[in-house]
Amino acid sequence: HSDDFQVDLTNCDREPIHLLGAIQPIGFLVALSSDWMVQCVSANISEYFDAAPDGVIGENAQELFSGEAIHALRNRLALLRGPDDVERLFAIPLVENGQPFDVAIHMIDGTIVVEGEPARERDHGDAMSTVRGMIGRLDKTEDVESFYREGARQVRALTGFDRVMIYQFDEDGSGEVVAEAAKSGIGSFLGMHYPASDIPKQARELYQRNLLRMIVDVSANTVAIVPQKNAEGKPLDLSLSVLRAVSPIHIEYLKNMGVTASMSISLIVDGKFWGLIACHHYSGPRCPAFERRAVCELFAQMFAMRIESRQRQEMVDYERRARDVSDHLLGSVASDESLLNDPQWLSQILTSAIPADGVGVFINGNQALSGHTPDAKQFEAIVRMLNTTARGKVYATDHIASLVPDAVDHADTAAGLLAIPISRTPRDYVVLFREERIRSVRWGGDPHKPVSYGPNGARLTPRESFAEWKELVEGKSAPFTPSETRVAETLRATLIEVVLRLADEANQERK
């Protein structure tokens, strides 16, 4: 490890995973200065070239590659479109009459990095038409579940991994397995949640720059880069490397769950890190050819774009539905004002716009509750709290207990709320309640029980991860989303209109 950084469970978000100074042993790496002098190489180059590290470091690239190969590499370098771009060449010989290599080339900190793996059998047809076919099948799916499932299936068909998952991040960085395609008999991770710490911060940052990473064989020895540090004493930055050796903590995690090889591809939606396509293998090394991985990456990008447009459409549909609910509310109350005092009716109509498990109404000091809600006394305490917090605006929390401590006992009836104030003074409210989230989540075991754990013990297993996540969300509901809060504002305007009109009518009657 560079600079003797000792990684353990307490500091793994500070592990410099881009500076680990090693690659996986399925290929070689050569780093060159901008005038094509060799700066460092992976220690295994003699397996691929008639040369040893000592003989080439500080020498011209011609000591390794043919003039023709250098020419081809230079041309590719000129095509790089941005600082994080990597160019790929498939099946090119690097020495005269030598074996063909699949090559990746990129620039980082002014250094040229060339990585190669022995070329594999090439795919029939071009990548674009493969991806087009895959996307075509995706577009036939109706609902979002089958869309995700089809995405997982397609990647599994393309790569042959035992398990392919679509892993979606939450606002807080934790995640859920929302779809899975797996070989039969290996259990299922579908619906499982994991805390943000399973993919630490620096890994997330890296994964947004470099979209695909693989771990070909969790038990393979890595190959060191020599020398480890350049003239300025800096290790080579492997952020954009294709063959980068990964964090030993993560290797331990994979081994603990019986995974023998893995690959994952970032899904970036609307510029945000949305999730991963995560692949596991359980029966030895697995390494899809470079070209195949490139197709996976392209597919992931198209898949992410489809998620983006689906989300947009969903938002439009959702807001239209909410407007319908609002119109319906207005129309119904106009013909039967007593409905407003009927929490069951209100509950039904409001939860059709904003999913909730219960509704409480507090009007003129009278309250009514329906569904999963706190009890009457609790509700009063909540209303008192709202009078001091929610100043004439919709207010939402996923953790009532942090506002009204006595409500802790009631975490099993309601953990989150969204309050819609419907008058100024005295304060009247319609409050939607949500149950504790953990109740709606499947508790699955660890499909792969290891024989023994690594040095950091059982924490590095999905089961312990799940337990950790569970602790984090204990007593909390699923959060109310920004679009749900927006819809609540619309409903608030409608309710206020209705309440004012009813008050007006009551006044006139009195006159």
Q: Applying CB under 6 A, which residues contact ligand BLA?
A: 9, 12, 15, 17, 177, 189, 194, 197-200, 203, 213, 215, 246-247, 249-250, 253, 262-264, 276, 278, 280, 459-460, 462, 465
Task: Compare residues 152 and 420 and give the one whose CB is closer to ligand BLA.
Answer: 152
Considering the complex, state which of residue 199 and residue 478 has its C-beta at the smaller distance from ligand BLA: 199
Q: Which residue is nearest to ligand BLA (CB)?
A: 264
Report DSSP state, residue 216: S
Q: Which is nearer to ligand BLA, 198 or 297 (CB)?
A: 198
Q: Choose between 223 and 404: whose C-beta lies nearer to ligand BLA.
A: 223
- Which residue has 């319906």 as its token pair? 328
Minimum separation from the CB atom of position 247 to ligand BLA (A) = 4
* Min dist. Cβ of residue 297 to ligand BLA (A): 13
Contact 447, 189 (CB under 8 A): yes
- With both helix axes pointing from N to C terminus, report the angle between 144-159 and 290-335 in degrees, rounded to the nearest 10: 170
Q: How far is the CB of 35 from ligand BLA (least distance, A)?
A: 31
Decide whether 465 or 494 has the Cβ nearer to ligand BLA.
465
Q: Minimum Å distance from CB 44 to ligand BLA?
A: 20
- Per the listing, tokens 């490397």 go with 241
250/372 with CB nearer ligand BLA: 250
Q: Are 44 and 53 in contact (CB under 8 A)?
A: no
Cα distance between residue 201 and residue 380, in whole Å: 42
Pick between residue 163 and residue 437 the one whose CB is nearest to ligand BLA. Answer: 163
In degrees rounded to 5, what are phi and psi of residue 115? -125, 140
List the structure tokens of 72.
Answer: 């081809």
Query: Burial level of 488, CB count in 10 A (0-12/13-18/19+)?
Result: buried
CB of residue 438 vs ligand BLA: minimum separation in angstroms? Answer: 17
Give the C-alpha separation, 381 to 379, whole Å.
5
Which residue, 146 or 202, is less far from ligand BLA as judged by CB? 202
Report in angstroms how near the CB of residue 248 gets to ligand BLA at its nearest. 8
Residue 286 is which amino acid?
Answer: R
**DSSP-based helix, strand, coil % in the chain, nearest 5:** 40, 20, 35
Minimum Å distance from CB 214 to ligand BLA?
7
Nearest-10 Cα torsion for 166, 169, 175, 178 = -30
Say how many residues make up the chain. 511
DSSP assignment letter at 413: T
